[in-house]
Amino acid sequence: MTIVAPADAAAIARAAAILREGGLVAFPTETVYGLGADATQAWAVARIYDAKDRPSFNPLIAHVADLEAARREAALPEPALRLSTAFWPGPLTIVAPLAPGGAVCDLARAGLPSVAVRVPAHPVAQALIAALGRPIAAPSANRSGHVSPVTAAHVTQDLSGKVDMILDGGRTAAGLESTIVSFCEGSPVLLRPGAIARETIEKILGEKLSAPERAEILAPGMTPSHYAPAARLRLEAHELKEGEAALDFGGRLAARAEPGTVVLDLSPSGDLIEAAANLFAHLREFDARQIADVAVAHIPERGLGEAINDRLRRASTTKLD
Ligand code: TXA
Ligand code: MG
């Protein structure tokens, strides 16, 4: 059941409580409506991908209260700080390397060592972030492949029944998503044109924005900037070979493992949302344990299974040897 409510103080308090419990809330920003979850809870973030029917885990924007909160998540270099002073709160998203101790979960970042942060200007978005007291991960509140919603009615059309609450704040002002600038390479890169014009940003920076690498556009997920584990992954495994650890699903491989084998189960009960929430953390755990070879159990190609398999395939094919 989806609650749709005018975004008054009582509704915002209720929405914050829903987010704190791992629920999903659609809310207005000055650009488009966002589909929000507590960015620190991987399980809640997994529900975003499920609701949107996203075939892959794109990294999400962490919406934060102010510059100070942004700096707890992202290591913002000096030019990024200048942009934040000029455009925050507002429709600018900055991608930068992770700050040590950042709270945004792996899944919201799609496992990347960088994070996208934005301080929205809309009073409802501001109030919701303040009430939660944590970053809110939010993509646009539309089904994957549909256009971004600028009214609560659009959100209802796409996501009714999939989201716990929709805060109605009327029509959004910009109607165009935020401009995204990345500070992960040497010079600033315009990842997505948006509500703030390129020229306006270049004026503040005092330099031109670069275009993203061609490879990044052609094959998102295959570039080195996308997370791949050091371990070699063998997909669709039905048994374990000698020396392999297991990335299991529903206890399939565990049943055949020798005692002492490292087995990490994405979801012992076979729940794909739980599996998505655990995916990046488990892959990191293999690397932390310096495991070279991992057999991966069959994961059903339905619901979030499609995105999980997409990521696993990319992670397994980046090994060239
Ligand atoms: O205006 C907006 O930006 C809206 C409102 C809700 O804030 N949000 C939005 O989110 O448009 P979404 O998920 O539809 O688009 C976010 C974009 C994606 O294309 C994603 O690939 C990129 O941001 N992105 C997020 N984190 C990134 C990262 N660490 N590195 C590179 N790209 C990133
Ligand atoms: Mg979108």
**Residue 52 burial (CB count, 10 A):** 23
- ipTM of this complex prediction, to 2 decimal places: 0.98
Query: Can you list the domains of the chain with their CATH numbers?
Result: 3-218 (3.90.870.10), 232-317 (3.40.50.11030)
Alpha helices (runs of H) in the chain, residue ranges in sequence order: 9-20, 42-52, 67-73, 78-87, 123-132, 152-159, 198-205, 214-218, 272-288, 305-317
Q: Which uninterrupted H or E stretch holds 35?
A: strand 33-38
Question: What per-residue confidence (pLDDT) applies to 284?
Answer: 79
Do the beta carbons of residue 59 and residue 137 sit within 8 Å? no
Paired residues of 181 in beta bridges: 94, 190
Question: What per-residue confidence (pLDDT) applies to 80?
Answer: 98
Q: Which residues of the chain have pLDDT under 50?
A: 218-225, 319-321
* Spacing, Cα 195 to ligand 1 middle (Å): 13
Residue 138 Cβ contacting ligand 1 at under 6 Å? yes
What amino acid occupies position 159? L
In terms of Cβ atoms closer than 10 Å to its own Cβ (0-12, 13-18, 19+), residue 256 is: middle
Pocket test for ligand 1, best of 24, 52, 56, 61 (most atoms within 8 A of CB): 61
What amino acid occupies position 136? I
Residue 179 Cβ contacting ligand 1 at under 6 Å? no
Ligand nearest to the CA of 142: 2
CB within 8 Å of 302: residues ≥ 6 apart? 272
Residue 226 Cβ contacting ligand 1 at under 6 Å? no
For tokens 């491989």, what's the residue? 253
* Spacing, Cα 226 to ligand 1 middle (Å): 15
Question: What per-residue confidence (pLDDT) applies to 144?
Answer: 84
* Spacing, Cα 91 to ligand 1 middle (Å): 11
Which atom of ligand 1 is the closest one to the Cα of 33?
Answer: 6
Distance between the two ends of the chain, CA-based, in angstroms? 50
Question: What per-residue confidence (pLDDT) applies to 221?
Answer: 44
Predicted model pTM: 0.87
Greatest Cα pair distance, the chain, in angstroms, is 62
Residue 189 Cβ contacting ligand 1 at under 6 Å? no
